[in-house]
Chains A and B, each alone.
Chain A
Amino acid sequence: KQEVTQIPAALSVPEGENLVLNCSFTDSAIYNLQWFRQDPGKGLTSLLLIQSSQREQTSGRLNASLDKSSGRSTLYIAASQPGDSATYLCASRSGNTPLVFGKGTRLSVIA
């Protein structure tokens, strides 16, 4: 059974800093991996989707990488801003199984 772990559970950084959020998964036979953002009291917003054949995806200041062999994905946020403060969730899919989510990393960017 796939398990997804995110470390750290919470992270606080000063504005302008580059940061990396980590996601690990136990079953490397994934179909895709997705990073989401969740603001307090809101639903999830998809940030990046990486197919199993891809190594990374970029969108603006965000870059997500995928290393299936080691069961890891990272979300890199460049030049962080207070508006980046949110909980970041990663989720993987294997074949026809449902998305399996990590518990998230709660990010605070301090002005």
Chain B
Amino acid sequence: GAGVSQSPSNKVTEKGKDVELRCDPISGHTALYWYRQSLGQGLEFLIYFQGNSAPDKSGLPSDRFSAERTGGSVSTLTIQRTQQEDSAVYLCASSLERGGETQYFGPGTRLLVL
């Protein structure tokens, strides 16, 4: 595909359940980013991948959050034991490399924790 894709587009889950969010970056993009957008909070950086490694995990809010990237391509963000405050839009972006390049964003996954 031409752009960044994310799945699912919407996810409703019960408090305490685990969820997995998927991101397919643009082919050939080595850098991949996860962000969270909460109502009224703006975009918040979560984690950055260069290839399969994550040199910057500084934005992950707690140890319930983890992410991995395999084959330098697809990434999954996992939230364990979800809480209501995890409800947000989770956005993924990719860029050719971490430099002055533009980041291209996916449409996001809207997560609602009941």
Contacts and interface: CB of A to CB of B under 8 A. Distances in A.
Contact of B91 (A32, A44, A51, A104): A44
Most chain B beta-carbon contacts within 10 A, residue among A44, A49, A104? A44
A99 interface: yes
Nearest to A101: B43
A21 interface: no
Interface residues of A, number: 22
Task: Give chain A's interface secondary structure class.
Answer: strand
A56 to B, nearest CB: 16
Contacts of A45: 105
A89 interface: yes
Q: Chain A CB within 10 Å — which of B4, B42, B104 has the most?
A: B42
A17 B105 CA distance: 29
B48 A101 contact: no
A87 to B, nearest CB: 10
Interface of A: 31-32, 34, 36, 41-46, 49, 51, 89, 91, 96, 98-104
